Structures are given as C-alpha cells and as structure tokens.
Structure 1
C-alpha cells in the first residue's frame, strides 16, 4: 500500500509539474507528509487544518507547514490539499463535506470573564440537566459544558419566543452575553500533557439549496465565538461516516460512533466534542489500591478496586459529605459527594439548588480526610429532548419553533428534532480521561396539515358538475369486497 501511494503521488506530482512548472518531489517516504496535527496519523482533522490555512483562518507552525507541504515544493496550496484528500481516500477515509470557511474569516470578538452571574447560571443549567436525566436504576454521566456549547450555537439561530425559551433553559442570561462568557471559557482552558480540556465545534448542513438556505450571519457568529467549522454535505452514508470520524477524532476516540443514520428530515447538525485528560496531582501508588466492596442501588454488593488516600479538602452540606482530589496544575479537581445514610442519590439531587451546590463546591474545608475512590469506567448515551423541554425550552422541539435566524427552508419549518449526548469516563490510579459529544439535529418537516380525511371506512361519494355544484353521480361505498 505504501509503494502504491508513493507511485500515485509521484504520478500526480508529475502532472502538477507539467501544469504549473513548479519543482516537485515526493514526500511520501518521509512518514510525516499530511500529518499536520502531528499525531502520527492521517485523518480528516489534517484536511480541516489545511483548509483553514488556505482560507487564512489559521496559521501554521514550522512543523505543521512542513507536514502540509505534501509535494515538497516549498509552498502549501490547493495541490497539497488534493494530495492529502487522495491519501485519506487510500486509507478508506472519505471526506465528502465541503468546508464553508472560505466565506468566513473569524473576526475579533470580545469575551467576558466569568463572574457570579455566569457561574450561578451555569451551575443552574448543570444541576437542572442532571436532575432531569438521572434515574434511580442506572449510571448517569453528562457534560453540561458540551451540551451548553452545542445549544448556545443553536440558540444563535433562534428568534422570538424560541430564543427566549432557550435563554431560560440555558441559565437565564441574554444570548449576546452568554456568547461572550462561553468564548472566554472555551479559549482559556488548559492544554498541557498533565491537564487539558479540548473543545471542538462544527456545523454540518444538507447541501440542497432548494430545500435549505443557511444564514451567513448565523455561521459567522458561531465561527467567531465557538470556532465552529461549517460543512456542506450530502447527508447520506458518507456524511454519517464523516461526522462520526470528526467526533471520534475530537474526543480522542472515546466516542467512536455517535450516529447510525441521518433522517431524511434532518437538514443540519450542530456538534460539540470535548476531551478531558488529566493526571492526579498526587497519583495512587500500588500499596494504596486494594479490593473493596461497593453496595449498588438495589442492595447488591460488588467487588471493586478501591483507591485509598489522604486528601485535604473536605466537602459537606446538610445531606452529604465529600472531598476534592486535585489534578495537576490545580485548575480542575475531582469532587465526590456521598449522600448521608438513608438518602438516595435521586433524593439528594432533588434537594439541591444551584445556590446550595455552588456554596458547597466553592467552600471546601481545609482539613485531612481519609478517602476511598473506586476505579471505574462509564459510558452513557441519551436523548436530551425531554430533559431540555422540562427545563424551559419545549417550543424548540415543535414544528412551530422560530429558527429564522438560522436558515430559510422550503417547508417554512425548522426545529430541533433531537439532542443526542454521549459521554465516556475512565478513573484510575493515574488520573481521569473523559470525552463527550453533543449533536443537535435540526429538522425541516413538511408544511403542516390543517385537516386529514382518510377513507378507511364506509363513505358517500359524488361526481359533481362544478359550474352548478350539482352531483351527476352519487353513491356509497360500504365494502371493497363486492
């Protein structure tokens, strides 16, 4: 396969030379050609980075530029992009989506530092989302951060009552202010080997101009505040493959597959992907790990690997006790809250308010606390439609929703069909890895039907002279068997 790739690139390079007169030589043997993000693999992400460079929306480091120069002609241009796409095709990776960033140059926008209003609004959203998704008999894992990013992008296309409902459900802040807060939150996250929170956003829409006309202002706003790439795609099996590949890459493959198919009614997907990877500030040593017992919600007991340590930040409220265990750098910590005996997790969550939760998390007591934390891994996936509707935005899921700032549709309808959410977490002696993805599926249905008449039982019929409105034949149909 490698030899075939070298021969193909050499042949294409010869064509480039004959057309352009540029000196060309093969870079396939170097092992780095096309690996722009320097992760050791060719992927769709490399093609996206090259497209952004060519559209002047991203600069390259020297290493990235050298990797992008596929034909080693000392320049990076459309020929290199073509070579990269063909290299991806050889690997079985299809990149059918057309990046629309050619029309979108990211503008300088103002951010806003987190203050009490933002913190309380985000706590309100996070707690409410957990309260509306947690169940009595199964593990739950959500990323309010991921869901917020995806829904805020979606809200930028809403108008009127739909926009007002979404602002309420997202914590109550005006959308213009929320964009500024979320911009600063996203761009200020740590990104180091010991602790990183990486965020990626994208908007995919159906390549059907007769059916859908997307607002450039909507795309521009989400490019400015959320660095959202925009793709026009056929919304067939290749788009399903592209979207799943994009999500897998941007969750460090913790969410390998998000969607199975795209409904014919779906015209847009707004997607967020998040990767969290952090090492403990004080990792667990082998002698701190031993078998322990975990009692499940139904009273059954399970053997687990329990990690024991002395920590120094104790959490307590009237119904629970807990602790913080910090990750390297101190920007993030693992917080555990154990409801008191006789109080179920659901009962505990139901009794929390945004204010009480924030007070508990913001006021740890500096004291010694002996802790036991089980190693665990969890995958979770769910539709958030019912939860979000209950949180104050039911209208966004109705055909009467107003997303007129997002796009014009042939049917005149545009609404949220589904909000899909998937998460994964690994907690062990070294630290924590977690990934999350949120997909908002926008649908454009048919025009509403005012009345419906189905002749599925006996009926009367006529043949009418329309000038006089007189029947010229009349009859009844009582049975189709005669």
Structure 2
C-alpha cells in the first residue's frame, strides 16, 4: 500500500525544431492560472565558464551516446541533446549521493555539477539569436500546491541563477495541464501543442524545457525537382530534391557529406551519408563524440554539388530506457532515488517517473531551424582532393550545429520520406 502512496517527480522534456514554414504565435486571451513563484526568487549573478575542450568533448560524447540509444532502425529520429541536458541538469541540482553522481557522470563525464552549471549558463547565454536566425530556449518548473510537498529554496535559487527558470505553483488539476501545454505552445511559437494529456494524482513536479529555432539558409535553394529516395527497407519513392553548390565537403573514408550555413553563418546544417558499402546503422554504431567533431572540423573548403530532399518529421519518445542504458539508473528507482536537495514529501520518496522528448522539423528551399556561432574550420593539409557530388537519396544522418563549438543542438536520421 505504501508503494502506491509514493509521490513521483515527472520530469518532462519538450523540444520543437521548426522548418522554414513560419508559424505565427497565436495570441491567446486565456492566461496561465498557476501561481508564479519566481516573484519571490530573484536570480543572482553567477560567474559562468567559457566553453573549453573539456566541456565541448564531454558534451559531444553525451550528444552522440544519447542519439545512439534513441535512434530507430526503421523510422526517422530527431533528438536535441541540448534540450535533454538542460532539463536533466536542472533536475540534478536537486539530487544527492549516488543519484547525483550518476547524473553528473552522464551529463559531464568528470565535470562536477557546479562547474557544469557554469558551463551551461555561459554556453546558452552566448548562443546567438536575431530576426534572421531565432533560437529560443525556455525552462520551467511546476510544483503541486499541497502541504505535504516542501520545496528546497536552494534548489529554486540554483535553477533561477543558472537556467533562468520560470517557477509555478498549481493544484495539478485539469487546468494545470492546460497551463503547461499553453506555456509550451507559447515558448515553441505554436509548433508543439498538447504534450501533456493528463496529470497523474501522484505527480508532484514537472520540469519542462522548450526550444524553438527558425532560420533561413545563407544560400537558399532555387526550387526543387523530382528525385528518387531509397528508404531503409529498399522501397523507392519520388521526392522533391533541392540542388545547390556547397563549399564545405566532408569525406573521412566512411562517410561523405557537406555543411550548409544558415544566415550570417551562426548555425549550420551538417549532412552525413555513409559509403554505399556500409549501412547507416553500421555507421551510427561506430560514431563517437570525438569522431563526429573530427568529421565536422576537418571539412574541406572545396566546391561540390549537393542534393538534399525536402522532408518533415515528428518524433516523440519516452527516454527512461535510453538514460538507464547510459548509466542513470538510481534517479528512476522509487526506493533508492535521492532528490533530498529538491524537496520533501510526506507521501513518500521523490523519484523521476518519466522523461518525454518531442521534436518536429521541416526542411525545404527556404531554410530549417537550429543553432550556433562562428567557427574557423581548418582543412587537412596534403594533396588537394576533388569532391564528389553528395546526393542524399538514401538514409543519412544530419545535425544542426553551433558553429562556435561544432556541438549538435539537434541530431537525427532520415530513414524514409513520406
């Protein structure tokens, strides 16, 4: 009986990845009815820490390992490592002992949580955003308004300081679900609507991260022509192919690809096509954070012809199994999870019930949505090479990177186009 009385922390992640189709934000006269607790929590100044090799390498490793654990062998996949990391880092600030240790190791390797907070604060703060390339990142925490659940002030303060978190208090009734969906809808410019169907009576907290990105290509495509795409199962279909010349060519002996910039060269789209004798799943199985960064940063500055299919994709998954496979086990255990730095409930032990990740992307002639800063990519010294055309007419991996670090804000696969 005690088991069913235990309270659950439902950690909910939300990401939206927008395409070139501009969706206007619908202004709704209905206001969020939950109480805004941030009125009593003022963010303090923090020092932050500039991205260095240690942070970049550990973040790239987290991104690739998360991608490998969530990729589907027979359908399109898209995840945002940044979205997942921000939501988990917020949660980790309430963890202690083994729970905290596992989350620290997963997120930053040997980087302590306090140091990771400073890295992420500076990294997110420095991600550029303008009318030409818009990147919006928002975080919120929603608490159940009941006497038996007491939130630690230090937990609220850290998340306000490092993540600019909006904090709400609600009775967790049907209106609360409406409020959360409304918040997500607004923060993602209307691209994600209902992500929460209902709230379980045992839920006491939701942590939500929302990302919306909207950018045009630096070099737009001039229309499209019919082409053939061969899906993972060998079935061929007619698709709209967009053609253009690009100047950053990737070829490391396992994959060919190209890098295509968005406006003002702040963010880029990276396409990676495995050699024909190798399957996409074989390539992904050997991918590491180090090898992904190496492929991106060793791009050759030569002109090549490319073809990219127009595509749209929606992806939603529960990430509990993937994160447990990566070593984050204790946080999901109702008996051994330790979130004592987050709060206390007389109803039982606090633990993470689930983590939901939802994405959306559209790629066409005008642009896509993703993030980054300016990076200088050095070509490999040696004999000049002649780039081969890169035709994305079969399954491929793609990423949206921050040009200042080459870290993937989004990473996914196209296995089929329907």
- Shorter-normalised TM-score: what interval? 0.7 to 0.9
Match of 1:285 among 214, 222, 227: 222
Partner of 1:134: 71
- Aligned length, in residue pairs: 347
Query: How far 1:40 moved relative to its partner?
Result: 7.8
Query: How far 1:424 moved relative to its partner?
Result: 0.5
Match of 1:386 among 311, 321, 336: 321
Decide whether aligned partners of structure 1 residues 237 and 40 sit closer, same or farther in structure 2, where only a CA change above 3 A counts.
closer
Partner of 1:205: 143
- 8 Å contact from structure 2 (residues 32, 182) kept in 1: no
Decide whether aligned partners of structure 1 residues 310 and 258 sit closer, same or farther in structure 2, where only a CA change above 3 A counts.
same
Partner of 1:78: none
Match of 2:330 among 391, 395, 398: 395
Larger Rg: 1
Distance 1:265 1:405 in 2: 20
Q: Given the alignment of the two structures, is residue 252 of structure 1 paired with residue 213 of structure 2, yes or no?
A: no
- 8 Å contact from structure 2 (residues 25, 190) kept in 1: no
> CA RMSD, aligned part only?
1.6
- 8 Å contact from structure 2 (residues 318, 356) kept in 1: yes
TM-score by length of 1: 0.70
| Bigger relative contact order, structure 1 or 2 (CA pairs below 8 A, ≥6 apart) | 2
Match of 2:365 among 417, 429, 442: 429
Distance 2:52 2:176 in 1: 40
Decide whether aligned partners of structure 1 residues 181 and 291 sit closer, same or farther in structure 2, where only a CA change above 3 A counts.
same
- 8 Å contact from structure 1 (residues 254, 434) kept in 2: no
- 8 Å contact from structure 2 (residues 188, 212) kept in 1: yes
- 8 Å contact from structure 2 (residues 246, 304) kept in 1: yes
- 8 Å contact from structure 2 (residues 151, 343) kept in 1: yes
Distance 2:238 2:77 in 1: 20
Decide whether aligned partners of structure 1 residues 40 and 265 sit closer, same or farther in structure 2, where only a CA change above 3 A counts.
closer
Partner of 1:473: none
Q: What's the CA shift string for 1:41-94, capped at 9, x where partnerless?
A: 644xxxxxxxxxxxxxxxxxxxxxxxxxxxxxxxxxxxxxxxxxxxx3xxxx25
Q: Given the alignment of the two structures, is residue 181 of structure 1 paired with residue 116 of structure 2, yes or no?
A: no
Partner of 2:45: 108
Partner of 1:97: 34
Distance 1:183 1:220 in 2: 14
Query: How far 1:149 moved relative to its partner?
Result: 0.8
Match of 1:240 among 157, 165, 177: 177
Match of 2:242 among 307, 324, 336: 307
Distance 1:344 1:170 in 2: 29
Select between 247-256 and 418-427 the one with higher mean Cα deviation. Answer: 247-256
- SS at the partner of 1:392? coil
What does 1:117-128 correspond to in 2, within 5 Å?
A: 117-128=54-65
- SS at the partner of 2:353? strand
- 8 Å contact from structure 2 (residues 26, 190) kept in 1: no
Match of 2:156 among 219, 232, 240: 219
Q: Given the alignment of the two structures, is residue 295 of structure 1 paired with residue 225 of structure 2, yes or no?
A: no
Query: How far 1:316 moved relative to its partner?
Result: 2.1
Structure number with higher helix proportion: 1
Distance 2:27 2:368 in 1: 27
- SS at the partner of 2:191? coil
